[in-house]
Chain A
Amino acid sequence: MGLLNTLLGRSKPVQANLDSLFGLPSATITLQSAAGIASSGRAGVCYKPPTGQSFADMQTEVMKLLDMDGGGTLRAQQDSYGYHWVVVENPDVEALVSQVHLVNSSLSDAGWGPQLLCSVFGLAPVPGDTGAAALPSGVDGATLLGPTAVVPSTSYLVYLFKRGTFYPFIPDGKEHRDNAAELKLKSLVADDLAIEPELDRWFPLWDLPVG
């Protein structure tokens, strides 16, 4: 099919892959024990809104559905690149992931899978950070990584729909990212999540509305 598509100048829109999303709760448990980092309770779904009323209708439907689901706050936002965000806030990671999945699967079931760009999950240090010292494996990790192991308060895990993979994103000042911290974060979650193997696909997302 590849050759035929080349000859005829076609490209098929890529569907979203939602399967690997559910590795996230176990990854946050690992992060909490190994580095004292937990979910910040905020996540966002980013998609490119296509033209037309049918998409707008579906968007309203999804927001209503999420509202009924309850247990968190919702916010719709537009970024400077013309992409739409649905920002979900929920202190419970499992609930957060399932709400994000609800947004994703509704869009994708309505046939708009190709429009999904990524989901972003915020990470933050656990307040007080006592969990790491209490666990035997945590001590190991903490001494190994040293004082710089504490990931900055603004760090994210980005889920790429088209690849079904995660990558870390840690902005550090204006339009600069802390690659060292990102690679550290990656090594921490590598066992729990499917990590994007190609580094040039770890694209930056400045001015995230996920905060």
Chain B
Amino acid sequence: MSTARNIPSDHGLTVRMFTTGLMIVVLYGAVIGILIAVGISYVLVLALAAALLFAQYWFSDKIALFGMGGRLVTPEQEPQLHGVIDRLCALADMKKPRVAIADTDVPNAFATGRSPNTAVVCATRGLMRRLDEPELEAVLAHELSHVAHRDVAVMTIASFLGIIAGLVTRVMLWTGMMGGFGGDNRGGGNNNNNGADQTALIEMAVLVVSVVVYAISFLLTRALSRYRELAADRSGALLTGQPSVLASALVKVTGDLSRIPTRDLRSTEGFNAFFFTPAIAGKGVSLSTIFSTHPSLDQRLAQLARIEAELGRPA
């Protein structure tokens, strides 16, 4: 009925995200292949990693809320916050997530929960104190986009491999230290020694491979996380129709974050992947950007400026 105002989707971002996802999948295949070829009990490793990750995924809302000291609030307790989220959800036609507040002065917000039905959006007191109403709304729109994009599920699946690789590395190091590589504590004649040498070689290879896999998957998941942040910025800005307000919130929050003493921040580092801005700002330029869960402020501002220009263009 209506001619949707065409805001072109960001093909560059889509392609980058797709490539990163593809590389993660390829890496998965390679690792499973290697595990089968080597013949170590990959079933056990996979099962263990899957169990770990499933627990993290299933209880993501509780883990994150507990870790951040967030508590759920009712509309009566926080009518303003609920009012903003109510309207955004009606605008985006999505189910309203639960709303939580964390009593910390670190200005941040996060979304968690395995599915839109169990999602929780949490804002910190520090965020609500520093931002004015439209800015808070823009940040919440960003978080709601994370919920709509199912980012918790996607990032959990993407980080699965990294956890396996880390697990294999640890198990190998542990058995290596306990029994020595190749199990030469068995002693015995020359025949046995030959076999033991071979096993030692294989075990070394597995160790090296898992370290490499761990490193690659770490970088890839970080890259994916950055792309998804940009995607959430984009959807959030389109939802409120005011990219510049989100930009100003970003500037305020990131500026504040770097000035806050680090002791408070260290305790929140583990949750960075689901944060609005990372709690610890990288100091370096080139290296830190590929390790970070969030794109640089400049990158985010540049994207928002582009959307602002698109929205202002005459129809």
Contact = CB atoms under 8 A, between A and B. Distances in A.
The 6 closest A-B pairs by CB, nearest first: A50-B241, A111-B5, A52-B312, A9-B231, A203-B86, A162-B93
Interface in B179-227: 227
Interface of B: 1-7, 9, 14, 17-18, 21, 75-76, 79, 83-84, 86-87, 89-93, 95-96, 133-134, 137, 145, 148-151, 153-154, 227-228, 231-232, 235, 238-244, 308, 311-315
Contacts of B312: 51-54
A113 B2 contact: yes
A117 B235 contact: no
B1 A18 contact: yes
Contacts of B145: 11
Contacts of B17: 7-9
A109 B151 contact: no
A117 B150 CA distance: 23
Interface residues of A, number: 47
A10 B14 contact: yes
A9 B227 contact: yes
B120 to A, nearest CB: 14
Given A8-B17, A48-B87, A200-B95, 17 more contacts: A6-B154, A9-B17, A10-B14, A10-B231, A11-B148, A50-B242, A51-B242, A51-B311, A57-B314, A81-B87, A108-B1, A109-B3, A115-B241, A117-B87, A162-B90, A198-B95, A203-B89
Interface centre among B1, B4, B75, B91 (most CB of A within 10 A): B91
A16 interface: yes
A15 B4 contact: yes
A203 B90 contact: yes
A96 interface: no
Given A7-B154, A8-B231, A50-B242, A206 B83 contact: yes
Nearest to A50: B241
A186 B133 CA distance: 33
Contacts of B148: 11
A14 interface: yes
